[in-house]
Amino acid sequence: MTSVIVDPTCTDDERRHALYSGDIFVHTHSPSIREFVSFTRAMIEDAFGGRDPETVQYDMDVNEYAEVLGALKPAFIHHPESKTHLRAILEEHGADPELTYFDVPRLRTSTSDNYLTTGIAYAFHPHRDTWYSAPMMQLNWWLPIYDVTPDNVVAFHPRYFDRAVANGSERYNYYAWNRDSRAIAASQVGEDTRDQPKPEEPIDLDPQIRPVPPVGGVMVFSGAQLHSSVPNTSGRTRISVDFRVVHRGDVEAGRGAVNVDSHCTGTTMRDYLRVADMERLPAEVVAPYDEGVPEELLQYAIYSS
């Protein structure tokens, strides 16, 4: 059973255990997230020349829109203040800075009424992050930058949390993806031709859960949760940020959600940075997660953050 737990008072250890079991946490107010939202809005609004980012899709050619995102998103990811904000958010929410590691934040845009759903603004089909070489102890933090509604958020499909779904993850290797696919994301306008892990059997989207956190809040869930982008019919572009977190103790102990159907190779583990000092996970901690990677791809096991 999946429970949505709002403004919990538990410890980080208790939270991680619940998330690995399929629960979803929603924190509704955070000063550090409010500061991060202000920083992110400033970058977005500057990129669009002061136009309303939620409605600018109606005034721009789709190719021009994709070009703006193609420059904005990597600039946001690699801006040093982005990482500084994430460290503050995690510490405010009780994460141990010596044992908690985070990935860079991703800026997501879900345009309304199928304006742009491919490439740099990819609309995700039902999937688990663990199909994309994420470890089973990965936790996802997702927060809105502008107000969101039930018709433009993320949907969870909890009946599949502990039920296998036929999928194409056995064809996915994280290092090959970084080598071949990320660089062309901005060019995928109209049709996305990249081979991504997808369900290979019919999926019942209902029952589904659509948490709607307020601006200044965040929802946290396991990377093993089957989730998807809600088809945006709100009339406004949904703009959100997500980032991923692992706990070193869980990495070393192999604690996390149960793997019911992920068969990918490679690992995102090298992307994580320690909250305390931005150091990477040691090579010996990451090495066991490279089991099964073809030798010819190990040379692409580079740090991508």
Report the relative pairing of strands 139-144 and 4-6 from DSSP bridges: unpaired
pLDDT of residue 61: 92
Q: What is the pLDDT of residues 188-243, one digit of tens each?
A: 454 556 678 999 999 999 999 999 999 999 999 999 999 999 999 999 999 999 99
pLDDT of residue 136: 98
Radius of gyration, CA atoms only, the chain: 18
Comparing C-alpha atoms, which of 195, 197, 190 is closest to residue 117?
A: 190
Range of the domain at 153: 4-298
**Which tokens in the block code for residue 246?**
């692992």
Furthest CA-CA distance within the chain: 52
Residue 63 falls inside a structural domain: yes
Residues 6+ apart with CB under 8 A from 13: none
- Confidence band of 186 (pLDDT split at 50, 70, 90): very low
CATH of the domain at 15: 2.60.120
**How many other C-beta atoms are found inside a 10 Å radius of the C-beta of residue 288?**
12
**For all residues of the chain together, what is the average pLDDT?**
91
Q: DSSP letter for 98, please.
A: T
Q: What is the pTM of this model?
A: 0.92
Q: What is the pLDDT of residues 152-172, one digit of tens each?
A: 999 999 999 999 999 999 999
- Confidence band of 295 (pLDDT split at 50, 70, 90): confident
Q: What is the pLDDT of residues 246-277, one digit of tens each?
A: 999 999 999 999 999 999 999 999 999 999 99
* Domain count across the chain: 1
pLDDT above 70 covers a percentage of the chain that reads 91
Phi, psi dihedrals of residue 73, rounded to the nearest 5° = -65, -50
List alpha helices for the chain, DSSP H: 12-20, 31-47, 62-78, 80-92, 174-180, 248-253, 283-286, 295-298
Is the pLDDT reported for residue 299 higher than 90? no
Handedness of CA 188, 77, 181, 172 (dihedral sign): negative
Phi, psi dihedrals of residue 40, rounded to the nearest 5° = -70, -45
Q: What is the pLDDT of residues 22-70, one digit of tens each?
A: 999 999 999 999 999 999 999 999 999 999 999 999 999 999 999 999 9
Residue 304 falls inside a structural domain: no
Judge contact between 125 and 305, C-beta under 8 A. no
Comparing C-alpha atoms, which of 135, 96, 84, 143 is closest to residue 271?
A: 135
